[in-house]
Chain A
């Protein structure tokens, strides 16, 4: 059973924020794969180490779409370090929780943001800062 989705999950599913791709992205992050039933792609614009715009495209279930939508709201306007500190768990909590079965399989949106931040830093030739900004293990 998909369990019961919170009102916040259903609301984000119905009215997802920041769908699409930013023009000429500064960083792109993609996680998941179609075989598992979830693919999330996050594109960001960055100015002064701050995420000025963020958009998502997601293939996945209601939880996958809602967490993608929610994470864009949580990191938009934030510094890279602040955005890097947003965890999958924090996204789920902001949505009022997810059914237990969804916590692992469809809750990857923050990972996609972290991947986009890493991509941005690498493009800038700032590979050295990746570990520092993302707090060690970029996958954490």
Chain B
């Protein structure tokens, strides 16, 4: 089965990263020492590595319904997002860029960096479920709009954006459309033709592959400037000797994820629904966050009143349960999650957020265990909370 964790540990933080699937590890194994060649060399070791790279590219392309030459391997999601934004922007004099207010930091910070370089950036608002405001989106376009970047699925609350429709709006205006699909690929069907996007970001370690590898899908005809210059690898878009074992692992993981997608999504959604129902029944004054239906199957996000998210995280960790929070404290910033604030949560609500993201190796017994422990963790913290004592 998929990744094993330390005995007794319950891992509910799959949006952060996933364990490497043992089958993926096995596929990668030969490419560390045995088949170590540089794919750019003509000799036998080089050719062997090249063959593995070509096969991996074909597998990744097939999984996304793309063509092989449209796949650019990168060091991960962050690099792919940066390549998309800067790659397009550098082809133009400073103009206008549209992103959603709930993007991952890799897109938001790249957009802010472009803003410092003279670009105007619109951060399109979202509704209470985290869905992009369609009217505000359409109104944001200008004559000098060069690029839109809107994620497929949100990393905090799991909300899915209507990317196909949003991309069509951009294309009517001749604007390039990028989507960060890091959270979506492997959890929901992702087909670049159905979506109609020009650029799409994928990361391996979110789908039981290795860390340090990902890809940017670049639709034929979409022109980009590279971030990295050198030997001209990856059709000149990403120089640097290819991470062959990582890329092989990425392809193996993606193939498994796509093959098993329906079964995994059903399994994970059933566990998630049970968890959400249990939490809402057993813990008073909790709100379920995100879109009720249009969301990732494994995501359950909550706002728990009178308690702070990092304290809940530590309380659950004490019982061997790993989750995440959008609280400021856990992020080391003074502001709670920009995603939750954009959805209209008050700062004190956002401080009490908790994110549970389930994966294919999770079990009903683990969910039951969570449902036993979580109410006690919240009760203990509420007992300590001055907000609750008077509430």
Quick check: B329 and A14 within 8 Å, CB to CB?
no
Within the complex, what minimum Cβ distance (angstroms) separates B7 from chain A?
21
Interface size on A (CB < 8 Å)? 33
Find out whether the CB atom of B310 lies under 8 angstroms from the CB atom of A61.
Answer: yes
Measured CB to CB, the closest approach of chain B to A108, in angstroms, equals 13
What's the nearest-Cβ distance from chain A to residue B105, in Å?
Answer: 13
Interface residues of B in 84-130 (CB under 8 A from A): none
- With an 8 A cutoff between CB atoms, is A39 at the interface? yes
| B234 sits at the interface (CB 8 A) | no
The answer to whether B186 has its CB under 8 Å from any CB of chain A is no
Query: Beyond A34-B387, A37-B328, A57-B384, is A62–B314 a contact (Cβ under 8 Å)?
Result: yes
- CA of A3 to CA of B329 in the docked complex: distance in angstroms? 10
What are the residues of chain B within 8 A of A57 when measuring CB–CB? 384-386, 389
| A59 x B332 contact (CB < 8 A) | no
B384 and A37 within 8 A (CB): no
- The residue of chain A having its C-beta at the shortest distance from the C-beta of B306 within the complex is A59
**Cross-chain contact of A39 among B331, B334, B387 (Cβ < 8 A):** B387
Residue of B nearest to A16 (CB): B384
Given the known interface contacts A3-B332, A16-B384, the answer about A37 and B389 at a Cβ–Cβ threshold of 8 Å is: no
Q: Interface segment, A72-80, A99-107, A114-122, A128-136?
A: A99-107
* Given A1-B332, A2-B332, A34-B351: A64 touches B314 (CB 8 Å cut-off): no
Neighbour of A61 across the interface among B311, B346, B347, B384, CB < 8 A: B311
Q: Is the CB of A41 within 8 A of B327?
A: no
In the complex, whether B286 has a CB less than 8 A from a CB of chain A is no
B329 & A37 in contact (Cβ 8 Å cutoff): yes
Task: Report which of A2, A30, A35, A41 forms a contact with B310, defined as CB distance below 8 A.
Answer: A2
Q: Is the CB of B327 within 8 A of A61?
A: yes
Which residues of B lie under 8 Å from residue A14 when comparing CB positions? Answer: 318
Question: How far apart are the CA atoms of A85 and B330 in the complex, in Å?
Answer: 30
In the bound assembly, the distance between CA atoms of A40 and B389 in angstroms comes to: 12
> Would you list which residues of chain B between 332 and 389 have a CB under 8 Å from chain A?
332-334, 336, 346-348, 351, 383-389
A34 cross-chain contacts in B, Cβ below 8 A: 347-348, 351, 387
What chain A residues lie within 8 Å of B318 (beta carbons)?
14
CB-CB under 8 A from A58, the residues of chain B are 384-386
Give the shortest distance, in Å, between A78 (CB) and chain B (any CB): 23
A64 and B308 contacting across the interface, CB-CB below 8 Å: yes
Say whether A22 faces chain B, with CB atoms less than 8 Å apart.
no
Contact A105 B384 (CB under 8 A): no
In the complex, what distance in Å separates the CA atom of A41 from the CA atom of B336? 22
A37 to B352, CA, bound (A): 8
Q: B383: which A residues are within 8 A, CB to CB?
A: 19
From B306, B308, B314, B386, A37 is in contact (CB under 8 Å) with B308
Q: Check B329 against A2 for contact (C-beta < 8 Å).
A: yes
Tell me the interface secondary structure of chain B in the complex: helix
- Distance, CA A23 to CA B137, complexed state (A): 56
In the assembly, what is the distance between CA of A106 and CA of B351, in Å? 13
Residues of B within 8 Å of A30, CB to CB, are 386
| Residue from A1, A61, A101 whose CB has the most chain B CB atoms within 10 Å | A61
Indicate if the CB atoms of A19 and B386 lie closer than 8 Å: no
Determine how close the nearest CB of chain A comes to the CB of B384; give it in whole angstroms. Answer: 5
Residue B247 CB within 8 A of the other chain: no
Interface presence of B307 (CB below 8 A): yes
**Cα A40 to Cα B307 with chains together (Å):** 12
- Please indicate which of the listed interface residues B307, B329, B346, B348 has the most CB atoms of chain A within 10 Å of its own CB: B329
Cβ–Cβ < 8 Å partners of B309 in chain A: 61
With both beta carbons as reference points, the residue of chain B lying nearest to A56 in the complex is identified as: B384
Question: Is there an interface contact between A35 and B384, defined as CB atoms closer than 8 Å?
Answer: no
Is A61 a contact partner of B306 (Cβ separation < 8 A)?
A: no
Q: Is the CB of B348 within 8 A of A37?
A: yes
Chain B 130-188 residues near chain A, CB threshold 8 A: none
A58 to B381, CA, bound (A): 9
Contacts A2-B329, A16-B384, A34-B347 known; A60 to B334 CB distance under 8 Å?
A: no
Contact call B329/A105, Cβ cutoff below 8 A? yes
A37, B332: Cβ atoms closer than 8 Å: no
Question: B residues within 8 A CB of A3?
Answer: 332
Find the residue from B306, B310, B383 having the highest chain A CB count within 10 A. B310
Instruction: Give every chain B residue within 8 A of A38 (Cβ-Cβ).
Output: 308
Type the 1/0 row for A40-64, where 1 means its CB is closer than 8 Å to any CB of B: 1100000000000000111111111
Q: Residues on B close to A: CB < 8 A?
A: 306-311, 314, 318, 327-334, 336, 346-348, 351, 383-389
Of all A-B residue pairs in the complex, the 5 with the closest CB atoms, nearest first, are: A61-B329, A34-B348, A57-B386, A41-B386, A61-B310
Could you list 24 A-B pairs, sorted by A, with CB under 8 Å?
Answer: A1-B331, A1-B332, A10-B314, A19-B383, A34-B347, A34-B348, A34-B351, A35-B347, A37-B336, A37-B347, A57-B384, A57-B386, A59-B307, A59-B387, A59-B388, A60-B308, A60-B329, A61-B329, A62-B329, A65-B384, A102-B329, A105-B329, A105-B334, A106-B329
